[in-house]
Chains A and B, each alone.
Chain A
């Protein structure tokens, strides 16, 4: 599409990148068809094609008003539009640029700012999260169902194998996951132990940067990334084989470090190395297990509905891999309609856009539970906790199923 950058920004690298993205869009509207917010709201300004149009206005220097921000805020950054786009428009990069421009142009109102600040402070801080969970634990039976479902279940197996194999990989503990669903990484460690791989924990915890980057707190998000790189670097120099992410929301960000840090002379090379080393757990296990894996008897009677997180299918383009693994281990999968749609969790979205998020969750659960599965499996802690709040059946990380079947 046509775009003429405003003179004041025309020489900036980020503006040129944004310009190139707009130029790639041919305004066909295919992407609107798979956009969850467009489907819910039926409004051109609430779909990717419209948002690209609005950001083009910003880049051309036309004044924006509050409505522009509302339309960009409602985007889930689920990236379904990128999967659909035949022209290959990297929409999410443009959206982040648009949001940052608005952040500079118009300061947010008090309450809005407070909510965002609270979340960017709590979620990425492992200590704070843990403290919050720690205080709440003894109260568990008294908690309302909604909150109780967010805390780790007492019968979860948190033991990790003690043996040290020759093959070693670094495990991303994840800030939310390490506190709220610690059973996931424990299960991953046990499954990989059986495959002859040891998972080395991170030297210290912290957020990969995703939370702050997605709430347009770019500078501090980049600082989170530098901290992570510094934490991991000794292990990388020590020769770990790969970096493993068990939460697709973290994995997608770490895989993007190379791009995010490309203009940071000190960190660019390290970031590139890290992105190249990073794998989602599913990619690793699919490569390490044979088609002929004996089916587990435990799995035979369980019907599973799999929810593929957006960060897995649209962000990392990992499609059908976990489904195939579950079947390989003997689970039967139920069909799930509209599998490309977001569940409404989307990082901090559930808190910032509660109404839309709730509608998306209800729609998602209706699809997942249509064929009465025994349980729901997913691949990202955010989706898992979000769906668990209202699901009629347990919602687990898929690795727990593989762990239980002792394959």
Chain B
């Protein structure tokens, strides 16, 4: 890495004065794999990649970038599905992967202090012996970093009961564009002043570099059990979800997979998912034995009434983990049935699940593309995976159009265009559908307060008003809004 040829780029020369050579990647071959994140359809080579090993180095890089008006794109594990970590062509990619130490575990106060490159799953592994865990568990938890989780306000299977990243973070330290190290939030129950901590959640690298995170740890529930219910019809499964939630039970996790997703996940994990079901639901309840049993009875009755063809309870902890493992590996396992997939991320009111899934399936026929659904049903957070073939010219464009139509439908039924994967480059235009001008102007004002020069992850997450004007002109076909038959919220 350190043997890059002498480079005439003044920025790189300047970076060399503040970073050891081993922390600078500037040769084209070594930079190539940085050109995209988990959304590999969007690619851009960076100008240079830096891999700092200390917070001081991060500060020095930021100062150098501000002085030279160079864009900075933060990067964690690069698992973003919205192109959030895609480089800027004139910019630096600042990767935090070498800041990967667990700095402190405080069992008594149930919190842990982490560098941003610590992987999500690593946290729970490290505190297991204390009977504690970190609740938000994105499916990518084996790989994604806590810094990336903060930046995307990541959610996961267990967020239905225990909240998203935002509900489980006590404090973060960020390095601002001018190189200052700022602490937001505190380990005390409340801190004076405005809640700037919440502003960092889902900020997608636009407000500063997260360099330290204090997470809240929870005690492992005394008992957790998961039910698997099979359905011969996807709408019935969707309605079952709405009924369970409406009954007042709050499952620890409540997930749905359709037939395509079941086939792919089963091929990898062999969890024992029924191959002939049109959909399965995984519903976990936790608490004391008494609570768990009472909830299981209620959920079982409701699922039964909704028309489940088969209900089985994971017989032990191993099987429980296996049931979840299939779900958590389901996205990439879809690589077994399709060369590429495009993962959408919209939310809808739970009562619309059945309706929306049926309409997505009709759209799939229209576009001539497959679709697999695996998602956080309890939150109404959809993840249709549009199956396409990147080698076929035009296929990705078709997938994007299909995806756009799904998001429009989400908004039209009263939902949003992102549940947890962020906006990134991918959904920036859809922001114009979701928000009006005044709201977007507020977003831009926040951004400007932290970054007046627009250097932090530019052209992502929040569109300029000019961009929206252009998009809306194109998007409103023949003067009609998409799905005019539906009421607007």
Contact = CB atoms under 8 A, between A and B. Distances in A.
Same complex for A and B? Answer: yes
Interface of A: 1-4, 23-30, 32-34, 41-45, 49-50, 53-54, 57, 64-68, 70-71, 84-89
Contacts of B295: none
14 contacts: A1-B40, A1-B340, A27-B40, A28-B332, A33-B121, A42-B117, A43-B97, A44-B95, A65-B28, A84-B142, A86-B265, A87-B268, A87-B335, A89-B335
A224 to B, nearest CB: 32
B143 A42 contact: no
B331 A88 contact: no
B95 A42 contact: yes
A67 B38 contact: no
Contacts of A57: 29, 32
A3 B391 contact: yes
B124 interface: no
A88 B117 CA distance: 26
A30 B121 CA distance: 12
B98 A42 contact: yes
Contact of B30 (A23, A34, A71, A85): A71
Contacts of A2: 40-41, 340, 390-391
Nearest to B117: A42
A235 B416 CA distance: 69
A4 B390 CA distance: 10
A146 to B, nearest CB: 28
A23 B339 contact: yes
Given A1-B340, A2-B391, A32-B143, A26 B33 contact: no
Contact of A1 (B25, B29, B333, B390): B390
Given A2-B340, A42-B97, A86-B333, A54 B140 contact: no
A4 B335 contact: no
B27 A67 contact: yes
B32 A24 contact: no
A70 B79 CA distance: 24
Among the interface residues B25, B30, B121, B341, which one has the most CB atoms of the partner chain A within 10 A?
B30
A42 B117 CA distance: 9
Nearest to B34: A44
A67 B332 contact: no
Interface string B407-422: 0000000000000000
B335 A29 contact: no
Contacts, number: 121
Interface in B328-377: 329-336, 339-341
B36 interface: yes
Interface residues of B, number: 46
Contact of B331 (A28, A54, A67): A28
A68 B34 CA distance: 14
A87 B336 contact: yes
A29 B38 contact: yes
B95 A24 contact: no
A276 to B, nearest CB: 23
Given A26-B331, A50-B33, 20 more contacts: A2-B40, A26-B332, A26-B341, A28-B38, A28-B140, A28-B332, A29-B37, A30-B140, A30-B142, A30-B332, A33-B143, A42-B98, A43-B25, A44-B34, A44-B95, A65-B28, A68-B29, A87-B334, A88-B335, A88-B336
Contacts of A34: 142
Among the interface residues A33, A57, A65, A71, which one has the most CB atoms of the partner chain B within 10 A?
A33
B202 interface: no
A64 B329 CA distance: 33
Contacts of B336: 24, 87-88
Given A28-B38, A29-B78, A44 B332 contact: no
A26 B335 contact: yes
Contacts of A42: 51, 95, 97-98, 100, 117
A45 B4 CA distance: 14
Among the interface residues A27, A28, A49, A89, which one has the most CB atoms of the partner chain B within 10 A?
A28
Among the interface residues B32, B98, B267, which one has the most CB atoms of the partner chain A within 10 A?
B32
Contacts of A54: 29, 32-33
Nearest to B341: A26
B438 interface: no
A65 B5 CA distance: 11
A32 B77 contact: yes
Contact of A85 (B140, B331, B332): B332
A43 to B, nearest CB: 6
B271 to A, nearest CB: 12
B209 to A, nearest CB: 15
Contact of B391 (A4, A29, A68): A4
Given A29-B79, A86-B329, A24 B339 contact: yes
Contacts of A30: 140, 142-143, 329, 332
Interface string B71-110: 0000001110000000000000001011010000000000
Among the interface residues A26, A32, A57, which one has the most CB atoms of the partner chain B within 10 A?
A26
B33 A44 contact: yes
Contact of B36 (A27, A66, A88, A89): A27
Given A44-B95, A68-B29, A26 B79 contact: no
B27 A65 contact: yes
A70 B30 CA distance: 10
Contact of B332 (A32, A66, A86): A86
Given A44-B78, A54-B29, A24 B335 contact: yes
Give me the 8 closest cross-chain CB pairs, A-B, nearest first: A87-B335, A2-B390, A50-B33, A42-B97, A86-B329, A86-B332, A42-B98, A26-B335
Interface string B1-28: 1011000000000000000000001011
B259 interface: no
Nearest to A338: B125
B324 to A, nearest CB: 13
Contacts of B332: 26, 28, 30, 85-87
A41 B22 CA distance: 10
A384 to B, nearest CB: 28
B383 interface: no
Contacts of A29: 37-38, 77-79, 140, 143
Contacts of B340: 1-2, 26
B119 interface: yes
Nearest to A34: B142
B261 to A, nearest CB: 12
Contact of B33 (A23, A41, A49, A86): A49
Contacts of A44: 33-34, 78, 95
B224 to A, nearest CB: 23
Nearest to B25: A43
Given A3-B391, A42-B100, A53-B33, A27 B333 contact: no
Among the interface residues A44, A65, A67, A84, which one has the most CB atoms of the partner chain B within 10 A?
A44
